[in-house]
Structure 1
Amino acid sequence: MKDIFDECQFGDLKLKGRVVRTGTWETETEEGGFLSPAIFDRYEKIASSGTGLIISEIFALDYKDRFAPYSSSLNYKGFIKDYKIISEICHDNDVPILGQLAFFYYDDGDNQKAEANDLTLEGIRKLQAEVIMAAKKFSFAGFDGIQINMGNNFYLTRFINPYFNQREDQYGGSTENRVRIASEIIKVIKKTMDMHVSIRINPWDVRNGGITADESIAIAKELEKAGADSIQLTARTISFLYDGAEKNPFLVYVDRLIDEIDIPVILGGNSRDMASMNDVLNHTDVEFMSMSKPFVAQANFLADWKANGEGVSICQSCNNCYSKKTSTCFKYE
C-alpha cells in the first residue's frame, strides 16, 4: 500500500514523502526585495512537516512582468545570501527545493510584451539565455533544480501552444518545433549544471485550435527527450475538466501520461485530505501529488497528518490567496 509519507525516489532526488509543496505568490518581502523573518519561518515549517519536495514561490525574469509585484525576485543584491539560507533550511530537513520560474511577459529589447510570433531568432536566444542564467542563479543559491512553468497561461505556455504560435520557422508548426525553445534550454542546463529540471504543463486548454490531451502528451515526450527530469500537471482555471465521477480534474488524463513517459509525473489539482490522496495513490499509477493553498492556510499541517495517520486541510478553497495574489491566508493568519 502506498502512502503520502513513503520515502521514494524522484528522478535523481530522494524524497521522504510523496507530497510536493508548490509555491505561488510572495508578498512578505521587505524593502529592496530582501526576505522577511516570516518567509524563513514559513520554509522551516513546511520543510520540517513531512513534505517530500518543495517548489518555491514564483520567480519572474523581469521587474516589469505582470506578476512581478507578487513574485520573488532573482535580481536583488541579497538573493544568493537569502536563498542559500532557504535552501539550507530545506536540506537540514532532508527536503530538496526547486526554484520556480514563471513569467507572463517577455521584453526582447524592442517590445516589452513581445509574443511568440514577434520574437526574432535573436530575441529567442536572449530569452533562452535569461532562463539559463536564472537556473545558474538558483544553482549558486543552493537549489537542487529549476521548475520552468510552461503551464497555466504563462509566456512559454503560449509560445508552445498552436493557438498562439503561428511561426513558420524552426520554432513554429509541429510540436517538436514549438517546444524547441524549451528543449534547447533544457539541454544546456543539463549539460552545464547539476540541476533537476522540472516542467509544468497543462493537460489541455479547451481553446479551439489549442492544446488537446494528445498534444499535451506529445509535448511531454519532447520535454523528456530533451532531458527534463519531471513533469507537473497544472491548468488554466477554466480548463478544469471533470468526467462526472472523479474529484480530481486531472485523473482522466494522468495515468495515460504516466504510461507514455518514463520520468516522474506530479499530479496537481485540489488535494485536501489524506484519505482521498492515499486512495488516488493506491488506485492509479500516480506516485507524487502537489498541494499549494493548504500550505498557505497552515504551513506545517502535514506534521499533524503524519502524527495522526489522517487529516483534512483547514484550507476552504476560497481561492482568495491566489486571486488576490498574496502569500498569506485571508482566514487563518
Structure 2
Amino acid sequence: MKDIFDECKFSEFNIKSRVIRTGVWERQTEGGFLTSEVFDRYEDMAKSGVGLILSEIFAFDPKDRFYEYSANVNYRGFMKDYKQITDICHNYDVPILGQLAFFYYDDGDNQKAEPNDLTIEGIRKLQAEVIMVAKKFSFAGFDGIQINMGNNFYLSRFVNPYFNQREDEYGGNTMNRLRIVLEIIQLIKKTIGFHVSCRINIEDVRKNGMTQEESMKIAKLLAEHGADSIQITGRTISMKYDAEEKHVFQDYADKLSAEVDIPIILAGNLRDMKTMNMILNSSNVEFMSLSKPFVAQPDFLADWKENGDGTSICKGCNNCYSKKESRCFQYYEEKSD
C-alpha cells in the first residue's frame, strides 16, 4: 500500500513524502524585502514532512500583469533573501524549485507582444530572459526551475493552437508550437544542469484550443526532450467536469504517469489524506501537490503524519487567490479572535 508519507525518489531527489507544495502569490514584503513571516512560513513547511516545495510565482518584468503580487528576481536583496529560504529548506532535506510565470511579454517593441507578434529575435530575447532567471535561481540555491506554461500564462498561450497561428518553425504542429520551450529546457540543462519542471494544462475547453489529446502529446514531447517532471493543471474557470466521484485530472494523470518515465504531479482541490491515499492506491499517480492548504496552515502535514489521517482546515473560500495574498483570511482571523 502506498502512502503520502512514503520516502521515495522524485527524479534525482530523495524526498520524505509524496506531497508537493505549490506556491502562488508573495505579498509579505517590506520595502521590497521579505518579511520574517515568509522565512517562518518556509521553515514551517519544510519541517512538516513536505516532499518538495514549489516557490511562489516569480516574475521578471515590472510591467507584467501580476508583478506586484509576485515574488521577483530584480530587487537588491533577492540573492540574500532567497539563499536563506533555500538554506532553510535544505536544512530539512527538502528540495525547492523556483516557479517562473509571466502573463505579458515585452519584446522591446511591444510591451504586450502576443505569440503571433514575436519575431525570431523576440523569441531569442524571451528565451535568454528565462535562462537568466534560471541562472539567478541557481545562484540563490534553488534545486531547479518550474516553467509555468499552464493556466493562462504566456507560454500556455504560445503552445496553444487557439492563440498560436504562426507559420514559421514556432507555429503549426505540436512540435513547432512547443519548440520555444524545448529549446529553453535544453539550454538550461546544458548551461546550468539542474531540474526543470513544467506545469501544463490538461485542456482549456476553447474551440480549436488545447485538447487532452494535444496536451498529452505536449507532455510526452517535454519528457522526451529533457523535462524532469510535469505538473498538470487546467484553465479552471472553464473546466466542465463533475468532480463529485473522482478528481477532475485523475484519469489524465493516471494515463500520463503510465506512459512517461518522469514524475507526474497531480494538482487541484486535494484537501484530505484519505482521498489522497485512495488516489495513490487506485491509479498510477505517485505525487500530488497542494497550494491553499499550505496558505491556511503551513505545517498541517505534521499533524496528518502524527495522527495517521487529516483534513485541511482550508475552507476553499479562494480569498487568498482572488485577493492575491500569501496569507489566509479565514484562518488568521479565527486565530486572532
When the two structures are superposed, what TM-score results if normalisation uses the length of structure 1? 0.98
Following superposition, the deviation at residue 253 of structure 1 comes to 1.3
Matched, 1:290 2:255: no
The question of whether the paired residues in 2 share the 8 Å contact of 1:241 and 1:249 is answered with: no
Q: What's the CA shift for 1:239? A: 3.5
Deviation per residue, 1:23-46 (Å, 9 max, x gap): 000010111x21110000000000
Please report how far the alpha carbon of residue 241 of structure 1 lies from its aligned counterpart in structure 2 after TM superposition. 3.9
Please tell me the root mean square deviation across aligned C-alpha atoms, in Å: 0.9
1:209 and 2:205 matched: no
The structure-2 alpha-carbon separation of the partners of 1:300 and 1:244, relative to structure 1 and needing over 3 Å to count, comes to: closer
Alignment match, 2:9: 9
Question: Matches of 2:265 and 2:243 in 1, distance apart?
Answer: 22
* CA contact 2:198–2:229 (8 Å) conserved in 1: yes
Partners of 1:115 and 1:43 lie apart in 2 by 35
Q: Deviations over 1:227-273 (max 9, x none)?
A: 00000011112243435653311013111111221111000010000
Whether contact under 8 Å (1:48, 1:300) holds in the other structure is yes
Q: Which residue of 2 aligns with 1:263?
A: 262
| 2:19 corresponds to | 19
Match of 1:71 in 2: 70
SS in 2 for 1:252: helix
Q: SS state of the match for residue 179, structure 1?
A: helix
Alpha-carbon distance in 2 for matches of 1:315, 1:6 = 24
Percent sequence identity is 69
Deviations 1:121-161 (A, max 9, x none): 00000000000010000000000000000000000000000
Query: 1:98 and 1:196 mapped to 2: Cα distance?
Result: 8
- 5+ residue gaps, structure 1, are none
Read off the aligned partner of 2:85 and give its amino acid letter.
Answer: I
Partner residue in 1 for 2:108: 109
SS in 2 for 1:85: helix
Match of 1:136 in 2: 135
- 1:51-93 Cα shifts (integer Å, max 9, x gaps): 0000000001201110001000101111111100000000000
Q: Counterpart of 1:229 in structure 2: which amino acid?
A: D
The answer as to whether partners of 2:130 and 2:184 remain within 8 angstroms in 1 is yes
SS of the residue aligned with 1:62? coil
Q: What's the counterpart of residue 221 of structure 1?
A: 220
* 8 Å Cα contact 1:163-1:208 kept in structure 2: yes
Gaps of 5+ in 2: 333-337
Q: What secondary structure is seen at the aligned counterpart in 2 of 1:278? A: helix
Give the Cα separation in 1 of the matches to 2:305 and 2:239: 30
What residue is the counterpart of 2:30 in the other structure? 30
How far 1:277 sits from its partner (Å)? 0.4
C-alpha separation between the residues in 1 aligned to 2:14 and 2:239?
Answer: 31
Post-superposition shift, 1:200? Answer: 0.1
Aligned 8 A contact 2:255 2:284 in 1: no
TM-score normalized with structure 2 length: 0.97
Asked whether the equivalents of residues 87 and 143 of structure 1 are also in contact (C-alpha less than 8 Å), the reply is yes
Q: Distance in 1 between matches of 2:220 and 2:139?
A: 29
Partner of 2:195: 196
Report the Cα distance in structure 2 between the residues aligned to 1:247 and 1:294, rounded to whole angstroms. 19
- Provide the C-alpha distance between the structure 2 equivalents of 1:239 and 1:10, rounded to a whole number of angstroms: 31
Corresponding pairs, count: 332
- Kept in 2, the 8 Å contact 1:243–1:252? The answer is no
Does the Cα contact within 8 Å between 1:21 and 1:51 map onto a contact in 2? yes
CA distance in 1, matches of 2:127, 2:91: 33
AA aligned opposite 2:46: A
What's the secondary structure of 2:197's corresponding residue?
A: strand
Q: How does 1:81-100 map to 2 (within 5 A)?
A: 81-100=80-99
